[in-house]
Amino acid sequence: MKTTHPTFAVVGHPNKGKSSIVASLAFDDSVEISNTPGTTTKKRSFPLRVDGKVLYELIDTPGFQRARRVLAWLQQHDVPAPKKREVVLAFIQKYRNDPYFNDEIELLSPIMEGAGIIYVVDTSKPYGKEYEIEMEILRWTGEPSMALMNQIESSDYSAEWRLALDHYFKMVRSFNPMEITPAKHIAILESMAQLKEVWIAPVKESIQHFQAYQHQKLTQSATAITALLSEALSLVTEQTLPSKEATEEQREVLLDSYQTQLRQLELASQKRVEQIWSHTKLNKSAPTLPFEGMDLFSKESEAVFGLTRQELLVTSATSGAVSGAGIDLLFGGHTMLLGAGIGAVVGSVGAYFGFAELGEIKVLGSRLGRYTLAVGPMESRNFPYILLGRALYHARQIAHHSHAKREAVDIAEQSGFKEQWLSRTLRGELEGYHKKFRSGKPIKKEDIRAYEALVVGMLEGIVSF
């Protein structure tokens, strides 16, 4: 195995979290994870690539199955330490095609080809002397090694595990693949670099690429979210009418089509964000992931993500969305009511701000004497905040979701989310762009870029690195 990048074989007893660790560190949810022992039967390589460059490579291996027999075979050869590596190579050569030792051959082969050793143990289970057999085999290889203590369940035997592991490994670290963050990821990379002196420089370079990669994903997510907002707010849905009069049923059909297209835009944007963060096999409990049971147009959505009527009123009045005579009309000709008297006005202007309304359904004429029923662009002043809040929440959950997890994305924590990203000043900035998006006019590139910059700032505030 001749590579220009660091390579690590993740080894250990069956069902101790090896595959979960590989999935989390390689950002790859295609790694097969199961509670059934022996799920991994062949070694498999998972390189982490950024812009076509392999930063490092992880090899998922089967668990030890015949460790006692292997060590007994090795110990039959009474050789000094410098010769022990040759004995391991002889074992691989002798039993390479023997199915009885398949797991051990698959495990040891990448190590003997130059991969560093990451030995994984579950510290929620008591330490047992039988693990020393595995550790002794790894010591025979002569390759640099570190141990990761993965506490799978609540019980904790890490103290006794650490005492034992310190006898066999250069480094011992605690690591939970289900709760990995970029900071923890970098800390593990720094530890891995210490296994071989020649790996220090390439791993340091990998860390720099990794940090740039995280920011790149934020920027790409912001681009996807901006596209969603601009497309959704400017969307117009039409259908041809046989006459100038539209029936109630035709209006309902058109409105349903309009809402369906908006939902499809949101789902497509979510899919794009999931791809950006390399989540291709998320466990989705509902087609509208991750807001199970929460509709785009529900009052629940408004309560969690949208603005209150008072916030809408202040935002529109102070951002120029309502101006001149429009403000005087809203406030009965007395703009001074914007202060203490605002509460009395809110209820009467809710319809104007479109707290629940989507867009005006109108009949358009045509040169050919035919008519078109149309709805859009979006009229609701609240809708973009609901859509943006949902998109930001989804992006945060996806960015924090470990690739080792197989359960659905956790969406339980919704309380207070709006306050984490939306300030009064930002509302004013956003409102100006939302007005441009729904104007029906071509959207300028500089407006798209400016909105993307705002979204990047929001994401940096809620996606902790």
Mean per-residue pLDDT, 378-392: 91
**Range with the poorest average pLDDT among 104-113, 357-366, 443-452:** 357-366
Residue 81 has pLDDT above 70, yes or no: yes
Most confident of 21-35, 103-117, 206-220, 300-314: 103-117
pLDDT tens-digit map of 263-288:
999 999 999 999 999 888 777 655 45
Average pLDDT over residues 36-57: 77
Question: 371 versus 95: which is more confidently predicted?
Answer: 95
Residues 6+ apart with CB under 8 A from 127: 157, 160, 161, 164
Q: Is the pLDDT of residue 36 over 70?
A: no
pLDDT digits (tens, 9 = 90+) for 285-342: 554 545 555 678 877 787 788 888 778 877 877 666 554 333 333 433 333 334 334 4
Contacts by residues 35-43 (CB-CB < 8 Å, ≥ 24 positions apart): 37/63, 38/14, 38/62, 38/63, 38/65, 38/103, 41/102, 41/103, 41/106, 42/106, 43/9, 43/106, 43/107, 43/109, 43/110
What is the predicted pLDDT for the residue at 2?
A: 56
Comparison of pLDDT for 331 and 403, the residue scoring more? 403
The pLDDT > 70 percentage for the chain reads 84
pLDDT of residue 452: 98
The CB density around residue 397, as the number of other CB atoms within 10 Å, is: 17
Higher pLDDT, residue 191 or 331? 191
Looking at residue 379, what is its pLDDT?
A: 85
What is the residue-averaged pLDDT of the chain? Answer: 83
pLDDT at 326: 39
Q: Of the ranges 28-37, 91-100, 101-110, which one carries the lowest mean pLDDT score?
A: 28-37
Domains of the chain: 7-195 (3.40.50.300), 213-462 (no CATH)
pTM, full prediction: 0.82
